[in-house]
Amino acid sequence: MSGFPWFDYRRGRLHAESVALEHIAREFGTPCYVYSRAAIVAAYREFDAAFEERDHLVCYAVKANPNLAILNLLARLGSGFDIVSGGELQRVLKAGGDPQKIVFSGVGKQAGEMRAALAAGILSFNVESEAELMALDRVAGETGRIAPVSLRVNPDVDANTHPYISTGLKENKFGIPFGEAEELYARARRLPNLRITGLDCHIGSQLTGLAPFAEASGKMLGLLTRLEALGLPIEHLDLGGGLGIRYSDETPPAVREYVAALCATTKGHSRHRILIEPGRALIGNAGVLLTRIEYLKHTPHRNFAIVDGAMNDLIRPALYDAYHEILPVMRNRRRGKIYQIVGPVCETGDFLGRDRKLPLSQDDLLAVMSAGAYGMSMSSNYNSRPRAAEVMVDGDRACLVRRRESVEQLFADESMLP
């Protein structure tokens, strides 16, 4: 349990901070996402404090978990935000986020999203292609505004992570090819409705070593030096996010070690503000998916624990073959069996955990750990399943921060042919 300090057993019952998860299940039902406020606060403060006196901005990657309560909590702590859609922009503004602490990433920004971000007065657009640059200049001109711009450069660095979440290789869709960046910056400077503000990169997610960060930073600093030699006014250096967390036996760098490496690499550029975009590292281990066993099914080949949570609630195992530790909410001394932890969705890929040795009985509660990031944010209504409730624990209080959907809500906007 050392990897989950905000979730621990007390008298054999798993707690989130000072609230027993069985009490949350009783009050709010299952499946249910449960977050620890203290874990989120501690994670943000660890990043913020690690920079010490270096000018910086920690921009939470909203795609990791966009719940308004989480965004509001981070906004009150002083966090910035990394968004990838107009919907995320609206969420951040609704939650009280400062527009001047928002960076807008993503390869497919639409004109309407650009207009909304310009009207809000965001810190920077992280532009990912020449076509987007031209579109942003046109939209800014139509609205009578000047768009602040960073180019997201693809440094062609192998992040050594799952191919679906690697974003910094030349074959990925993200960013501007490294060899084309100088020419495009020079072109951006000549466009009348743009103002160059920064230089940006992001190489992937769930990185567990410092070498890829160091390689990418080194390439970006070389490019920064060349851009400034051309007289381009670079105010900030956005080094992206991607720091991994422990799901099972990973050993990612400590936050202080990661930040120290970034600061050391950029020591000769101390006048530039550093931006980073952590998501998973802020919220991943601050949440669990709480689920109940509906049935135990024993066959000559395998034992199945069929739970009420499913791939529509947490798709990471099915999508990435990702591992999440699964713990019994009520600890017991019964002898365990090897189980496949599966959901009720009609897909063989609907599983939350494979080959787990657990002492289980029907109606037992299980906690799927490290589910704070890319859990609820990637959930769906597949099989017409309402999305789960979300609960935030603050000390000895459990607050509902998203009601469970009803089936009626799923088809409320549909209509039949006349």
Give per-residue burial for 337-351: e unless 16+ CB within 10 Å, then b: eebbbbbbbeeeebb
pLDDT at position 174 is 73
pLDDT at position 160 is 59
pLDDT at position 328 is 97
pTM for the structure as a whole: 0.94
C-alpha to C-alpha distance for 208 and 180, rounded to whole angstroms? 29
pLDDT at position 198 is 94
Bridge partners of 198, per DSSP, are 150, 236
pLDDT tens track for 33-53: 999 999 999 999 999 999 999
CA 276 to chain CA centroid, Å, is: 13
Backbone phi and psi for residue 413, each to the nearest 5 degrees, phi listed first: -100, 10
Q: Are the CB atoms for 329 and 397 separated by under 8 Å?
A: no
Nearest C-alpha neighbor of 281 from the set 64, 15, 49, 33: 64
Whole-angstrom CA distances from 416 to 133, 216, 385, 409 are 42, 53, 20, 16
pLDDT at position 1 is 47
How is the chain split into domains, by residue range?
7-36+284-410, 105-278
Q: Are the CB atoms for 60 and 279 separated by under 8 Å?
A: yes
Backbone phi and psi for residue 392, each to the nearest 5 degrees, phi listed first: -110, 125
Residue ranges in 58-180 assigned as alpha helix (H): 68-77, 86-94, 111-120, 130-143
Q: Are the CB atoms for 224 and 231 separated by under 8 Å?
A: no
CA 298 to chain CA centroid, Å, is: 37
Q: Are the CB atoms for 33 and 287 separated by under 8 Å?
A: yes
Any residues with CB less than 8 A from the CB of 185 and at least 6 apart, and which?
A: 151, 196, 227, 230, 232
Question: Does 2.40.37.10 match the CATH number of domain 7-36+284-410?
Answer: yes
For the domain 105-278, what is the CATH superfamily, name and number? Alanine racemase (3.20.20.10)
C-alpha to C-alpha distance for 206 and 203, rounded to whole angstroms? 10
pLDDT at position 3 is 60
- Catalytic pick among 32, 59, 201, 346: 346
Give per-residue burial for 163-196: e unless 16+ CB within 10 Å, then b: eebbbbbeebebbbebeebbebbeebbebebbeb
Q: Which residue, chain included where needed, has tokens 């992570």? A: 161
pLDDT at position 394 is 98
C-alpha to C-alpha distance for 120 and 73, rounded to whole angstroms? 20
pLDDT at position 192 is 97
pLDDT at position 165 is 45
Common-topology check for domains 7-36+284-410 and 105-278? no
Concerning whether 346 is annotated as a catalytic residue, the answer is yes
- What 8-state DSSP symbol labels residue 207? B
pLDDT at position 40 is 98
- Residues of the chain predicted below pLDDT 50: 1-2, 162, 164-166, 168
pLDDT at position 159 is 56
